[in-house]
Amino acid sequence: MTNQRKRVSPGSDKVSAPSRAALSALLWEKLFRETSESLGLQGRIRQMLVAAITQGHLTPDAPVPSSRFLSDTLKVARNTVVFAYQELVSEGYLVTRNRSGHFVGQAAQQRNMLDIIASAGGDDETDFWHGRIHARPSQQRNIRKPANWQTQPYPFVYGQFDPALFPTSEWRECCMKALSIVDIRSWAQDLIMMDDPEIIAAIQNQVLPRRGFSATKDEIMVTVGAQHALYLLADLLVRPGNKVGMEEPGYPDARNIFSSRTRHVVPVPVNEEGVDVEGITVDMDMIFVTPSHQCPTGVTMSMARRRRCWKKPMPAIR
C-alpha cells in the first residue's frame, strides 16, 4: 500500500479543523481577558458570551462552544462554564436543544434588532429628540470618582463608609428577623399613603430629639435618600426666578437639583465656622446649608452662627 497525502494548494481558503479550533480558542481567550475580574469566573464567562453575541461573533441561532471546550480553553472548571450557561439560558441569551448543545436565543435576536433600529434612526431622529429635551443633566457639574477608588488605601470619597467598621453581626441579625414569615407580612404590604410606623416612631423618639427637633407623625416623611428629599423640597419651594443661596463649596447634587428649577443659584462662601452669614443677602428667597457636617469640608457650624442664620427672614433648607 502506498501512503497518499492530500495536498492543499497555497491559494486554497480551506482551513483544517485543528486550525479552526485554534482560531476559536484565541478569540475566546481574548474576549475573556477583556471581562471584569471583579465579577468572578462565572460572571466573567457570562459577560464574555454576551459580548460575543452583541459584537456579532455569535449570530442568532448559532451554536456556542461546548462547556468542555471552554473549560479547557479558559483553564476553569467545567461546572463553572455549565453554571454560566444555565444563567444565560434563564436570561434568554441562550437556549438548549436536546443532544445538540446550546444556541444563541431570542433575547440576543431582539437585541440585534434594537441595534439595527437604533442605527437606522440617523441624525434626523437625534435632532428630533434634542429639540424636545429642555435639560442637559450630563452638562452639570457632578460628583466624579475613579472607578478603582475602593482599591486605594485612603479613599477620600464623600459619603462612603469603611467596610471594616460595618456592624456585620448586628446587620445579619436584623436581616434574619426581617425575613421571618411574621415580619414579611408586615413590611411586604403596600402602605400606600403611609410610611412604616416603626421607622416613623424611631425617627420621632430617637433621631430627632438628639438634634433638638420635635415633630408629629404626620410631619415626618421617609425618602429613599438625601437626593430624593431634596427633589421633593425643590418641587415644593423653588420656582423659576427664585434666588437660592448655596454653600460654596457645597453639595453638587443639591446645586444641580436647584439649578434645574431656577437659574439663580447664588454661591455663599464657607469658612471654619460654616457658611458665612454675611454672604446671605436679603434678596435671596431661601438658603441651603449643612450645619452639622458641611459637605465637603466636614465643618460643623458654630451655635452663634446658627442663631444668626436662623434669624434671617427666609426659609433655610437643612
pLDDT digits (tens, 9 = 90+) for 72-115: 999 999 999 999 999 888 888 899 988 788 998 876 666 655 55
pTM for this predicted structure: 0.57
Sign of CA dihedral 29, 35, 40, 44: negative
User: Which domains does the chain possess?
Assistant: 18-108 (1.10.10.10), 165-219 (no CATH), 226-317 (3.40.640.10)
Residue 13 confidence (pLDDT) = 43
Residue 137 confidence (pLDDT) = 74
> Which residue's C-alpha cell is 442568532?
60
Distance CA 228, CA 234 (A): 10
Residue 123 confidence (pLDDT) = 58
Sort 274 into a burial class: Cβ within 10 Å, 0-12 / 13-18 / 19+: buried
Cross-strand partners of 268: 247
Q: Examine the pLDDT at 201 and tell me if it is beyond 70.
A: yes
Q: Examine the pLDDT at 157 and tell me if it is beyond 70.
A: yes
Distance CA 290, CA 287 (A): 10
> Which residue's C-alpha cell is 482560531?
23
Cβ count near 72 (within 10 Å): 14
Give the model confidence (pLDDT) of 215-234 as tens digits. 999 899 999 999 999 999 99
Residue 7 confidence (pLDDT) = 45
Distance CA 88, CA 108 (A): 11
Considering only residues 130 and 153, tell me which one the structure prediction assigns the higher pLDDT.
Answer: 153
Nearest of 287, 308, 290 to residue 242 by alpha carbon: 287
Distance CA 140, CA 128 (A): 22
Residue 15 confidence (pLDDT) = 40
Nearest of 303, 282, 287, 285 to residue 248 by alpha carbon: 287
Nearest of 44, 43, 64, 42 to residue 53 by alpha carbon: 64
